[in-house]
Amino acid sequence: MQKNASLVVVLGTGGTIAGTALSSSDDSVYTAAQLSIAQLLATVPGLAGVPIEAEQVAQVDSKDMSHAIWQVLAQRVAHHLARAEVAGIAITHGTDTLEETAYFLQRVLAPTKPVVLTGAMRPATSAQADGPRNLLDAVAVARHAGDAGLSGVLAVLHGTVHGARQVRKAHPARLDAFDSGEDGPLATVDNGVLRRLPAHAAVPASGHLPPLTAALHCAVADWPRVEIVVSHAGASGALVRALCTDGVDGLVVAATGNGTLHHEIEAALLTAQAQGVAVRRSARSGDGRVVLQPGAQGLPGADDLSPVKARIELMLALMPAGAR
Ligand code: SIN
């Protein structure tokens, strides 16, 4: 990066932050992904004079986020990160799958410059829209994260900075809908000023895992198919068997307790694994990690990854390295 690189590239992908309602008093009935990224930037007076380039990468309600959009987004982020004049990237995104996109970009790119996702819980037309402040904060973090010792993929919402591995949507409606579980957030941002939270003073936001870059080039149709199943009271192995018959490559099971499984789903998963399907067990409890006994046989754990992030990790791990 140029010593005084200051350009922020803002990539738009849709979401409630770009949503519109019929009335400015309506915060809950609206259509996501209506305004362009250029229109959104125009609603943030605080960004006047800040060197910004905008690009519309997608325009979706993030419940419909696809692998195809992920690939294009990762390619565009990689393209802009390679430009010396770019200090960082901000991405506007729906909140529903923001944590998945954040983790995907982190694992595919492991960027050393900041890549900052943000969204909003209220549409852009709301009299009390939260999007403009979140976008202002995201741009500030994209420009100045390095000064606070932060890099990699981050999420900035409601004045709080989260790491890609930890961030999760923890509430369907509250303005402060996001948290970082028991690890806690990395920093706060207030009027453009970033403050690192002491608990994380020594922990790099991005982790040390090398990037799994095959997703940048591998044809999306060839991406491994990894699905999530849940262990619960009264569970059976029927879904697992059906998915195996349907040709699944990997399965993540959202497990009870410390990775425990209903004996029927466990038997089906062990059979699947013996047939060549990769299986990981993730905790369905939200916090904590699956800690298996040393030397334990059977189904590997997914450490602290939530089921949706464990799915991404397994999919990337199964992706053929040289595929095009
Ligand atoms: C979406 O995820 O695109 C809609 C919901 C939101 O952004 O809050």
Return the pLDDT at 321: 78
Sheet holding 7-14, edge to edge: 52-60, 7-14, 86-92, 115-118, 153-157, 160-163, 187-190, 193-196
Q: What CA–CA distance (Å, rounded) separates 117 from 134?
A: 10
* CA 204 to centroid of ligand 1, rounded, Å: 28
Residue 16 falls in the annotated catalytic set: yes
Look up residue 212 and give its DSSP letter: -
Region(s) of the chain under CATH 3.40.50.40:
224-318
Q: How many CA atoms lie within 13 A of 309 on its CB side?
A: 25
Q: Which of 27, 31, 96 to mutate to test the pocket of ligand 1 (most atoms within 8 A of CB)?
A: 96
E strands present in the chain: 7-14, 52-60, 86-92, 115-118, 153-157, 160-163, 168-169, 178-179, 187-190, 193-196, 226-230, 250-255, 278-283
Pocket of ligand 1 (CB under 6 A): 14-16, 32, 61-63, 94-96, 119, 121
Region(s) of the chain under CATH 3.40.50.1170:
7-200
Q: What CA–CA distance (Å, rounded) separates 145 from 179?
A: 19
Q: CATH fold of 7-200, please?
A: Rossmann fold (3.40.50)
Tens-binned pLDDT, residue by residue, of the chain (324 aa)? 556 789 999 999 999 999 999 999 999 999 999 999 999 999 999 999 999 999 999 999 999 999 999 999 999 999 999 999 999 999 999 999 999 999 999 999 999 999 999 999 999 999 999 999 999 999 999 999 988 899 999 999 999 999 999 999 999 999 999 999 999 999 999 988 999 998 665 454 446 789 999 999 999 999 999 999 999 999 999 999 999 999 999 999 999 999 999 999 999 999 999 999 999 999 999 988 888 877 677 999 999 999 999 999 999 999 987 655
* CATH classification code of 224-318: 3.40.50.40
